[in-house]
Amino acid sequence: MVSARSNRRVTALEFLSHPAARGKSELVRGEIHVMAPASGVHGLLAGEIFTLLKTSVDANGRGICFPGNTGFQLPGLEDTVRSPDVAFVRADRLARKNIGAGWVPVAPDLVVEVLSPSETVTTLDEKWRDYRAAGTTLMWVIDPAERTVTVREAGAPDRRLTASDTLNGGSVLPGFSIPVAQLFSRVSGAKNQ
């Protein structure tokens, strides 16, 4: 992740029309963070989990799934707009009719981050702290190189799932589950990112 630094903070409103917002970027406490485009494996995994979640959510009317590059203006965090690879918001917290032209004004209930080779533990921890502070209760970190999913849940220790485990939506998305091996089954080159 590369930070575009300037002497002046950018507000969330200004960020809407900023050139950096046209690509993969986030605003973190007024500072723009520009990220490299996703690799093919990254895109495939994000697309796969988005499709699986959206199919489940649409069948049950539980809420809305958002693909990558959707900006969420995190409540309680000044001038912070995060953009997970996939996100889910429960229907009781956000209706489609309440989505406007600006950033999504709530924290997702679930965020999914596909680990990039350049992403550090520190960066992921910072994202999780921001999401938690804004009200997110569940985060899945998909590691293409290791073919694992780390589940971060509010009030619980992290759990690392491998091919022999099943990923489920817990209390955020009851009824959703998928074998971790199936998540990676369509991505032949995941080990090499």
The Cα-based distances of 80 to 97, 134, 139 in angstroms read: 23, 10, 18
In the predicted model, is pLDDT for residue 190 greater than 50?
no
38-192 CATH: 3.90.1570.10
pLDDT > 90: percent of the chain: 61
Query: Please, which pLDDT band fits residue 192 given cuts at 50, 70 and 90?
Result: very low
Q: Supply the pLDDT for residue 47.
A: 93
In the predicted model, is pLDDT for residue 5 greater than 60?
no
pLDDT single digits (tens) 118-168: 788 888 899 999 999 999 999 999 999 999 999 999 999 999 999 999 999
In the predicted model, is pLDDT for residue 117 greater than 90?
no
Is there a contact between 108 and 99 (Cβ–Cβ < 8 Å)?
no
In the predicted model, is pLDDT for residue 189 greater than 70?
no
Q: What is the pTM of this model?
A: 0.88
Which residue stretches of 33-188 are H helix? 40-60, 121-134, 180-184
pLDDT single digits (tens) 95-115: 777 788 889 999 999 999 999
Q: Rounded CA gap, 85 and 176, in Å?
A: 18
CA proximity to 135, closest of 87, 85, 174: 87
Average pLDDT over residues 169-190: 86
pLDDT > 70: percent of the chain: 93
How do the residues of the chain divide into helix, strand and coil, expressed in percent and rounded to 5?
Answer: 30, 30, 40
Query: Please, which pLDDT band fits residue 7 given cuts at 50, 70 and 90?
Result: low
